Amino acid sequence: MKKTLLTLSILISCLMISNAQCTPNPIFTFLGIPAVYPPNIPLPNIPLNGISDGQVNVPYSQTLTLIVLEDTTLDIAPILQLGGFGAAVTLMNAAGISTVMTVDVNHVTYDITGLPNSISYVCDISTCQYPSGVDGCMQISGTPTQSGTFPIDVNMTINIQIPPITDPVLGTTIFAGMPVDLPSFPGQQYDLFIDGSSSIVNREIEEIIIYPNPTSNISILEFEGIRNIKVLDNLGRIIFSKKDVNSTLKLSKDKLGTGLFIIEILNETKIIKQKLIIN
């Protein structure tokens, strides 16, 4: 009986923690800079920039990587005053204690607004609430039913811990300390473009397969027909190029190295791009 209860408890815990089938991008987790990724830089031809476009009636999927803040420096005076602790601010000023301080982050809660009705999101933690310093991801997915450009916000609500504050001379407690939510704000903003035109290009994208992906050694690229292939690194530099490749190409760690790569599959009329991660 005890073994059964233990197994059930572990299963419930896993279901609560692992909600979305997504994985944080190792390129961004390696950087370790708190933010929502990919970045949204208004410049063309920058790899790992912005989110993918979608197409009406074609399944859509986009993973966002979350690097969670551990601490932050801010002026706590407005927070205390809004919380009804204005007297504490007065005492701090009288004691010569700066109200600008570095405070610990307890957790950060994320949500997304502005998505079209047929598109939704889930987090790899079911509540979308991430403890300080814990990386995570959000999976945006669904099948678009309407075309257009949809401005979406990835919002953050940061819960900080204001520490106890004592008078350095008298030793009396000016403020006992408390956790508090900062006002929610957009941590990242994107434009999700949903194309309403023919799905011919998307069908071709679905016919292109890269496996395994990610890989730690060799990955196989499969497609229909004869294509020209280019491999670009995360800085947009061409590190491999081959013309007139017939349906299959082997991509190896020995030739490309490690990191995130953009695979360009070209024919006479269009370029199709896919991502490959080599660990």
Q: What angle do CA 120, 125, 130 make, to 5 degrees?
A: 110
113 touches 128 (CB < 8 A): no
99 touches 77 (CB < 8 A): yes
Return the CATH number of 200-278, one of 3.30.460.80, 3.30.420.10, 2.60.40.3080, 2.40.100.10.
2.60.40.3080
The per-residue pLDDT for 137 is 96
264 touches 273 (CB < 8 A): yes
- Give the number of other CB atoms < 10 A from CB of residue 127: 12
Cis peptide before 47 (omega within 30 of 0): no
For 127-163, write each residue's pLDDT tens digit: 999 999 899 999 999 999 988 899 999 999 999 999 9
**Residue of 134, 83, 75 whose CA lies nearest to 105:** 134
The separation between CA 5 and the C-alpha centre of its own chain, rounded to angstroms, equals 35
**Residue of 229, 209, 218 whose CA lies nearest to 252:** 218
In Å, what is the CA distance from 77 to each residue of 69, 166, 168? 21, 15, 18
Answer yes or no: is pLDDT of 5 > 80: no
CATH 2.60.40.3080 residue ranges in the chain? 200-278
Which residues on neighbouring strands pair with residue 141, listed in sequence order? 61, 120
Question: Percent of the chain, pLDDT > 70?
Answer: 86
For 58-77, write each residue's pLDDT tens digit: 889 999 999 999 999 999 99
For 69-122, write each residue's pLDDT tens digit: 999 999 999 999 988 999 999 999 999 999 999 999 999 999 999 999 899 999
Average pLDDT, the chain: 85
Answer yes or no: is pLDDT of 33 > 80: yes
Q: Helix (H, G, I), strand (E, B), or coil: what is residue 77?
A: helix
Element (H, E) at 31: helix 26-31
Element (H, E) at 81: helix 77-82
Q: At 257, phi and psi to the nearest 5?
A: 90, -160
